[in-house]
């Protein structure tokens, strides 16, 4: 009579390694006390999801904070869903966010670290060694169930109103004799390998999750598949082997894996491997018509990290935003430690929200604006240029031609206590400042210039052409840039008064027909002439940057246009 060993040898004739060999090859890591080993384990199935960035940020942040190790493992066992090139793209994007693994997968031909291979498709030897051990000990078995048999089983269980799945008395091949199993294999019957569970779903188990606290779970009794027909392991089994032999100490993963936790605990216990700690991270949600739902790859731009890169949200702002989702005390800490790097923040799992982090683009915007406003103009200009190189070539050319100009523009009202907060992302910059470039200014269609002034919220009035021409002409006659902003404005007020632009707002509102406009409208006229638009940074500084001749040229071009206009 054949025994389990014969069966194991028949299935894996070439596997001579033992678990002890693997334990020796991948020894416990020597690390400082309390250091944690974390990992990010993406599947190469597409672009980097915002939720995955969040998970990897938390994992790497925590490893760094505890002086541990953070590694990347590529989970490429689902060959059908794999998208070529996505793994390397993913690693590059993480790097942009300064998430750089201490070890692990780097590219398809490169990895670093002593606990590899870090790509699951290269780890067959390890999986097979562990499965062989389970087979030898009667804790795994070949299952020959055909799709039809499985379908029948589902129907039977539905009728009987019992928990569905392959377990206990419903697991047809669980108690097949070794002789019969060997015969079926020799007869060429296709099979997969299942784990033989000893659990009972009537039992409860208790477990402490780093985020969710003490949990009461139902014990696993499913004979899950561990090796698929394509010879690759399932997630559950790969998780066991990989996180054990890579010596992960805390598994940080999405909460969608929580229901499978009892399976994983049983696998770890069966093999006598020390259970790692688990931190099941909340899924990132979105408010949609008042209802919370998961950020969806299909529906939401914000689900893709590429979206934020393309829009040019600064990395530091985005990371900070993710930290506000990660820990409820982050913002308070930030406000008290403005001069520190966010890497100085002490992250902790127990300050993480349990009920799904709500993604809030408005908050991303406000954090980014705040952070961008306090950057030095030169540093910001470098960032903008770097972004434009990939995402806006027209702008990039202009920056290349005159980098200093961009620095000067970005410096407008910057180095002060309460700087302007015009930009939430790099793509905001060009539309706001492009009028500075002469070719862009010259391409403005002057018939679109809006020469109306506001009387109140709802009412406007059109400025008289002659008034515009005469006030702009007189502005140019006395125009001088060698004055302070205050002096410039005083002069403007005098000119305004002369052309019936009042400084008495109430009087204007009460009797708009008695005036051409208000003082601000006079400044607005100059702004419009110089920029072709009504919203711009401070007009005084625009003139300083454009320079005397260009200001004159632009205003004259407006005067000339109006003069010719019927």
Kindly state whether residue 60 participates in binding ligand GLU, applying the rule CB under 6 A.
no
91 and 107 Cβ atoms separated by less than 8 Å: yes
Give the number of other CB atoms < 10 A from CB of residue 145.
18
- Min dist. Cβ of residue 257 to ligand GLU (A): 6
- Torsion sign (Cα): 70, 72, 78, 82: positive
User: Which x/- pattern over 250-269 shows residues binding ligand GLU (rule: CB under 6 A)?
Assistant: ---x----------------
Nearest approach, Cβ of 56 to ligand GLU (angstroms)?
9
Q: State whether residue 286 is helix, strand or coil.
A: strand
- Is 380 a binding residue for ligand GLU by CB under 6 A? The answer is no
Contacts 24+ apart (CB under 8 A), 59-62: 59/252, 60/99, 60/100, 60/101, 61/323, 61/326, 61/343, 61/347, 62/36, 62/38, 62/250, 62/252, 62/347, 62/349
Extended beta strands in 315-445, E state = 357-358
Of 36-44, 106-114, 199-207, 479-487, which part binds ligand GLU (CB under 6 A)? 36-44
- Which is nearer to ligand GLU, 66 or 77 (by Cβ)? 77
Polymer length of the chain: 566
Confirm or reject binding of residue 101 to ligand GLU (CB under 6 A).
Answer: no
Q: Which is nearer to ligand GLU, 43 or 543 (CB)?
A: 43
Of residues 11, 41, 367, 472, which one binds ligand GLU by CB under 6 A? 41
For 103, the enclosing helix (H) or strand (E) is strand 103-107
Q: Does 248 bind ligand GLU (CB under 6 A)?
A: no
Number of residues that bind ligand GLU (CB under 6 A): 6
Q: Which of 8, 11, 19, 43 binds ligand GLU (CB under 6 A)?
A: 43
Number of residue whose CB is nearest ligand GLU: 253
Q: How far is the CB of 239 from ligand GLU (least distance, A)?
A: 6
Closest to ligand GLU by CB, 39 or 375: 39
Rounded to the nearest whole angstrom, what is the least distance from the CB of residue 43 to ligand GLU in the complex?
4
CB 138 within 8 Å of CB 197? no
Is 209 a residue that touches ligand GLU (CB under 6 A)?
no
> Is-contact 93 48, C-beta < 8 A?
yes
Instruction: Tokens for 69, please give them.
Output: 């190790």
Q: How far is the CB of 139 from ligand GLU (least distance, A)?
A: 22
CA 453 to chain centre: 43
**Residues within window 138-197 making contact with ligand GLU, judged by CB under 6 A:** none
Cβ at position 442, least distance to ligand GLU in Å: 52
Q: What character string, x for contact with ligand GLU (CB under 6 A) and - otherwise, covers 73-92?
A: --x-----------------
Alpha helices (H) along 31-123: 50-65, 86-96
Residue that the structure tokens 């590429």 belong to: 306
Comparing CA positions, the residue from 204, 356, 334, 179 lying closest to residue 280 is 356
- 162-175 burial: b if 16+ Cβ within 10 Å, else e: eeebbbbebbebbe
Cα Rg of the chain, angstroms: 34
The strand pair at 452-454 and 103-107 is best described as: unpaired
- Can you tell me whether residue 163 is helix, strand or coil? coil
If the CB atoms of residues 47 and 437 are measured against ligand GLU, the closer one turns out to be 47
Q: Which is nearer to ligand GLU, 113 or 168 (CB)?
A: 113
Q: Single out the residue of 11, 36, 42, 312 in contact with ligand GLU (rule: CB under 6 A).
A: 42
Options 41-49, 277-285, 343-351, 414-422: segment touching ligand GLU (CB under 6 A): 41-49
Q: Smallest distance from the beta carbon of 549 to ligand GLU, in angstroms?
A: 60
Residues 389-418 that bind ligand GLU (CB under 6 A): none
Of the pair 123, 239, the CB lying nearest ligand GLU is at: 239
462: which strand partners? 452
Written as six digits, the tokens of 211 are 């985020």
- To ligand GLU, the closest distance from the beta carbon of 322 in angstroms equals 17
Binding to ligand GLU by residue 499, rule CB under 6 A? no
Q: Which of 239, 425, 499, 527 binds ligand GLU (CB under 6 A)?
A: 239
Interface residue list for ligand GLU (CB under 6 A): 41-43, 75, 239, 253
């Amino acid at each position: 009579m054949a025994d389990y060993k014969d069966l194991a040898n028949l299935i894996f004739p070439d596997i001579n390694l033992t678990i002890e060999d693997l334990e020796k090859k991948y020894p416990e890591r020597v690390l400082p006390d309390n250091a944690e080993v974390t990992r990010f384990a993406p599947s190469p199935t597409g672009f980097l999801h915002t939720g995955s960035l969040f998970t990897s940020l938390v994992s790497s942040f925590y490893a760094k904070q505890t002086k541990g190790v953070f590694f990347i493992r590529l989970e490429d066992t689902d060959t059908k869903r794999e998208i070529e090139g996505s793994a390397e793209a993913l690693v590059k994007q993480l790097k942009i966010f300064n998430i750089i693994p201490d070890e692990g997968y780097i590219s398809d031909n490169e990895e670093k670290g002593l606990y590899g291979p870090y790509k699951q498709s290269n780890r067959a030897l390890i999986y097979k060694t562990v499965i062989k051990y389970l087979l030898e000990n009667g804790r795994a078995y070949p299952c020959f169930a055909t799709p039809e048999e499985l379908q029948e089983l589902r129907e039977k269980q539905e009728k009987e109103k019992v928990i569905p799945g392959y377990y206990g008395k419903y697991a047809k091949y669980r108690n097949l004799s070794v002789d019969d199993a060997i015969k079926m294999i020799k007869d060429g019957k296709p099979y997969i390998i299942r784990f033989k569970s000893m659990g009972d779903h009537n039992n409860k188990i208790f477990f402490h999750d780093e985020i969710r606290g003490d949990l009461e779970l139902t014990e696993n009794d499913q004979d899950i598949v561990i090796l698929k027909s394509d010879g690759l392991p399932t997630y559950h089994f790969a998780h066991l082997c990989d996180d054990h032999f890579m010596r992960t100490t805390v598994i940080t993963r999405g909460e969608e894996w929580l229901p499978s936790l009892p399976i994983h605990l049983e696998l770890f216990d069966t093999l006598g491997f020390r259970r790692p700690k688990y931190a099941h991270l909340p899924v990132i949600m979105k408010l949609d018509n008042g209802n919370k739902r998961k950020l969806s790859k299909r529906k939401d731009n914000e689900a893709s990290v590429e979206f934020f890169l393309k829009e040019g949200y600064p990395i530091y702002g985005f990371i900070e935003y993710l930290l506000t989702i990660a820990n409820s005390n982050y913002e308070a800490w930030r406000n008290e430690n403005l001069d520190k790097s966010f890497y100085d923040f002490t992250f902790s799992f127990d300050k993480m929200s349990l009920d799904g982090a709500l993604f809030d683009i408005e908050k991303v915007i406000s954090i980014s604006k705040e952070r961008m406003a306090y950057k030095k103009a030169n540093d910001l200009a470098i960032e903008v240029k770097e972004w434009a190189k990939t995402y806006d070539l027209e702008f990039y050319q202009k920056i290349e031609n005159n980098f200093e100009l961009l620095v000067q523009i970005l410096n407008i009202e910057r180095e002060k206590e309460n700087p302007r907060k015009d930009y939430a992302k790099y793509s905001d910059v060009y539309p706001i400042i492009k009028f500075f470039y002469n070719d862009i200014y010259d391409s403005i269609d002057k018939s679109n210039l809006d020469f109306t002034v506001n009387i109140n919220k709802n009412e406007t009035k059109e400025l008289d052409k002659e008034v515009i021409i005469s006030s702009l002409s007189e502005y140019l006659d006395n125009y001088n840039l060698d004055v302070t902003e205050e002096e410039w404005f005083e002069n403007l007020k005098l000119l305004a008064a002369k052309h019936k632009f009042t400084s008495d707002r109430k009087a204007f509102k009460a009797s708009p027909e008695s005036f051409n406009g208000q003082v601000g409208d006079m400044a607005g006229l100059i702004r419009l002439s110089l920029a072709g638009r009504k919203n711009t940074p401070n007009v005084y500084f625009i003139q300083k940057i454009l320079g005397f001749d260009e200001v004159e040229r632009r205003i004259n071009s407006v005067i000339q246009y109006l003069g010719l206009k019927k």
